[in-house]
Amino acid sequence: MRIDLHTHSRVSDGTDSPAELVAAAAAAGLDVVALTDHDTAAGWAEALAAGEEHGVTVVPGMEISTRYDGHAVHLLAYLPDPSYPPLVAELDRVLSGRVGRLPAMVERLQGLGIAITEQDVLARSADAAATGRPHVADALVALGVVDSRDEAFDRYLAAGRPGFVDRYAAPLVPMIGLVAAAGGVTVIAHPWGRIGREQPSAEALAELAAAGLSGIEVDHQDHAPAVRERLRGIARDLDLVATGSSDYHGTGKTGHPLGVNTTAPSELERLLSRAAAAAAASGRRTPSVVLP
């Protein structure tokens, strides 16, 4: 069984529609794929329907923008009730922050002499519930300012570059609790993905595990082999589920093809049993998955 637990569609900053993504997952020989668009469940229904059509098990998820100890942390959430009002409210706050920073980003780029407008960006994010810097990058490509998303991030959009503007992110520990209250489970995405930085630290991961975190993403393209082995050891010590995934973004991110990393079936089973326990404890109506 081949399992990929982290992918993005056009509902956030990927380039496939949810149905195209699931068809691509089937073509790539995956049996299970999680759709984890940034901060939204808006692609779930289309992905689940495509899963039935293509014989792929779709795990509904999302990658939530959070902050911990002053650092951005991406939190994968699987199988929460997407209508749980406190979760909806907090995601709305994050989504508003995504759109709300656009005028400031556009103004900064204009200040650098680039003739970009907010409309140029919104034209690139027409299908997206979550607008992000990759859409600004796409607008810069369309305007001929840069050749690729990578170049746009390197020159203008990465943190510390002149077009960067920060935005709201949800506090991490309360968000772990919010997802649990919605009947779902949480996994830290690419925990040490930034080269040379171990943040959250091993001690912090222990604190997060105690706060209800279910797992960490170990096998990710941003982790060198030695980092993966250290994270695998931490997962073992803390009784966290160790996942692997592609973080596929269609053609929006190079080097992340579907299935490039996968999750062991035994780890998915552990994650789903924790999800079943969270769902029962929450009393919420959560999505269900049936493994092949």
Q: Which residues make up the interface to Zn ion (CB under 5 A)?
A: 8, 13
* Cβ atoms of residues 259 and 5 within 8 Å: no
Q: Which stretch binds Fe ion (CB under 5 A): 186-194, 198-206, 213-221, 284-292?
A: 186-194
Nearer to ligand AMP, 117 or 251 (CB): 251
Yes or no: say if 139 and 108 are a contact pair by the CB < 8 Å rule. no
Residues 218-247: x where in contact with Fe ion by CB under 5 A, - otherwise, as a string: -----------------------------x
Which residue carries 């997962």 as its tokens? 235
Q: How far is the CB of 36 from Zn ion (least distance, A)?
A: 9
- Give the count of alpha carbons within 13 A of 209, CB side only: 17
Tell me the three state secondary structure of residue 78.
strand
| CB of 14 vs Zn ion, minimal distance in Å | 7
Answer for which of 5, 10, 11, 13 binds ligand AMP (CB under 6 A) is 13
If the CB atoms of residues 102 and 181 are measured against Zn ion, the closer one turns out to be 102
**Who's near 237: CB < 8 A, 6+ residues apart?**
none
Q: Return d(Cα 35, Cα 53) in angstroms, integer.
A: 16
Number of residues binding to ligand AMP, judged by CB under 6 A: 10
Q: What gap in Å lies between CA 200 and CA 73, rounded to an integer?
A: 8
Q: How far apart are CA 89 and CA 170, in angstroms?
A: 11
Which is closer to ligand AMP, CB of 134 or CB of 184?
A: 134
243: tokens are 């996942």
Contact at 8 Å (CB) between 81 and 286?
yes
Binding to ligand AMP (CB under 6 A) within 76-135 occurs at: 132-134
Residue least distant from ligand AMP (Cβ): 132
In order of 49, 77, 82, 137, the CA distances from 184 in angstroms are 21, 7, 9, 32
Q: Indicate which single residue of 10, 108, 149, 220 sits in contact with ligand AMP (rule: CB under 6 A).
A: 149
Q: Which is nearer to Fe ion, 189 or 234 (CB)?
A: 189
Q: How far is the CB of 38 from ligand AMP (least distance, A)?
A: 5
- Which 60-99 residues touch Fe ion, going by CB under 5 A? 63, 74
Pick what 253 binds: ligand AMP, Fe ion, Zn ion, none; C-beta below 5 to 8 Å, kind-dependent: ligand AMP
Calpha distance 232→217 (Å, rounded): 9
Is the separation of the CB atoms in 220 and 189 below 8 Å? Answer: yes
Nearer to ligand AMP, 92 or 207 (CB): 92
Binding positions for ligand AMP, rule: CB under 6 A: 13, 38, 132-134, 149-150, 153, 252-253
Binding positions for Fe ion, rule: CB under 5 A: 63, 74, 189, 247
